[in-house]
Amino acid sequence: MNFDKFCGFSSVFGLILSAIGLCKTDSSLIVALLLGTLIIFVLLGVYSIWHYDKAQKYLDCENAIRKIHNSVINEYPNIKQQDLNGIILKLSNICTEISEAFGMAKDTKIGVCIKYVNGECNNLYVKTLCRDSHSYNHRKKFDNLKTEDYIMHNTDFAHIFKLIGKQVEHDQLYYCQNRLANKHQYNNTHLNDIKLPSGCFDYYARRRMWPLPYKSTVVVPLLSSNGKKLDGFLCIDSSKSDCFIEERDVAILQQIALFMQELINFVCVNHL
């Protein structure tokens, strides 16, 4: 029996016993103990319901991702026949579907984008290939900026790039961070134009001045078929400070990256 079922059964059993005990005793001490027991079992029941609801939402998210996967596989030959604008439109639709899938589990809007790598070997930078529809409408000014987002100037991309150089296992190739506004070591090209306070007691000031539209993010690489060349990054983010669960969300995003890699590689080789 798992912990959720134990909490559920024990809560119901405890509530019944506590109710019977309250009806049959006149002792104030026993009444207090029974009330305390009643409260404990009510809390266990609430936790069990909350935990089950969260697990069900993740299950719905994973089922939606599987449908996206099957759709990409089935439509892949037709997607390859389109011009760059047609492929980008299809990828934008996929990003929107991924955003909606993660939104099921998070009960909030999740931004999704695909970045591709450009530039010389020693001076690589990333550009946005596409976004989900909601993020696209809200982040045009970031994507239209002429500032180059160099990999080594952005903590999330640089972290993954260094891990690839060290040839670590694929499941370790990711960057996941919550509460970015409070991470003094987090670098981003768009933070260069604003002086954020870095003192120990400047947490609320940093949150108030934070210029980025997201405060938590997960990033995974998009690699070529042989796993040696970095084509780009698949990124999800949220305006919530504490949105992502590393143990669950990273694995889901890595699975998405695996079935997106071949298509992104095709775009990079033939169109970019």
DSSP letter string, 203-256: HHHHHHH--SS-SEEEEEEEE-TTS-SEEEEEEEEESSTT---HHHHHHHHHHH
Q: Each residue of 118-131: pLDDT tens digit?
A: 987 778 999 999 99
- What does the pLDDT read at residue 50? 79
Length of the chain: 272
Position of tokens 């405060």?
215
**138: Cβ–Cβ under 8 A, 6 or more apart, which residues?**
213
The predicted model scores a pTM of 0.83
Nearest to 265 by CA among 219, 234, 232, 236: 232
Q: Set out the domains of the chain in order of their start, with CATH numbers.
A: 82-270 (3.30.450.40)
- How far apart (Å, rounded) are the C-alpha atoms in residues 253 and 241? 19
Minimum mean pLDDT among 41-50, 51-60, 75-84, 241-250: which range?
Answer: 41-50
Q: Each residue of 64-84: pLDDT tens digit?
A: 999 999 999 999 999 999 999
Q: 117 is written with which tokens?
A: 């790598």
Share of the chain above pLDDT 90, in %: 59
- What does the pLDDT read at residue 34? 63
Nearest to 233 by CA among 215, 254, 213: 254
Q: Each residue of 158-215: pLDDT tens digit?
A: 999 999 999 899 999 999 999 999 888 899 998 888 888 877 777 788 888 999 999 9
Q: Residue 52: CA atoms inside 13 Å, Cβ hemisphere, count?
A: 13
